[in-house]
Every structure is written in structure tokens, then in C-alpha cells.
Amino acid sequence: MPAILYTVRSTCRDIPQRGRYLAWLSPNHLLQVLAAGATAARVVLPDRENEAAPAVVETQYVFPSRKAFDTYVRDHAPALRADSLKHFPPESGVTHSRQVAEIAGEL
């Protein structure tokens, strides 16, 4: 069974908001996702095109299988997403997109 890479792309209005988001994200949220079945977590800060561009945080989680990921989505993700919305509600301007992919190979 291939491992699953789950990426959450969070877009913040600016660098100060990204700093607040990162303070919320790590370590507590990352540790909660690891406790819920992920085997690795990585936070990536993509380069900004210019100073006016939004500040993005990509959080990448590895799950050992589709079954482990599906269990996470069913049993744990709703509470973790609710906590995120409690700290960064829609009116805060923080938005999220998610991508699920199979890991085809690694060296």
C-alpha cells in the first residue's frame, strides 16, 4: 500500500498573521495530527512573489496508508479543523486548501 501525502495550504494575509498561525500550528497541532496517525509532519514556507503577496504555509503530513488517512479524516480531522476555525475563523482572512496524493517513490 502506498503512503499518503496530505498537504494543507494555508494562506494568510501577511507575515504577522502567518507568524500567529505558525505559533498556533507548531508544535501542538502538528503533534495532534501525528498522534492521530500521521508518521511525519513538515511545515514549508513557500517564497513570496513580492511583499504584497499573501503569506502561505504548507503543512505536509505523511500517513502510512490510505486506510490510516481515512481513519484520520473520519475520527480526528473534524475536531482539529474546528480548533483551527476557532483560532482563525473565516473573517480572519486565513483560508485553507487541501491536497491528497499517493507517494509514488522516495530515495
Q: Which sequence spans correspond to the domains of the chain?
A: 4-102
What CA–CA distances, in Å, run from 11 to 69, 98, 107? Answer: 23, 12, 30
Nearest to 37 by CA among 3, 8, 10: 3
The pTM is what?
A: 0.94
User: What was the pLDDT predicted at 92?
Assistant: 96
Q: Which CATH class is domain 4-102?
A: alpha beta
pLDDT in tens, 18-58: 999 999 999 999 999 999 999 999 999 999 988 889 999 99
pLDDT of residue 51: 86
pLDDT in tens, 79-96: 999 999 999 999 999 999
Name the helix (H) or strand (E) containing 97.
Answer: strand 95-102
Give the pLDDT confidence score for residue 59 in this predicted structure.
98
pLDDT at position 49: 87
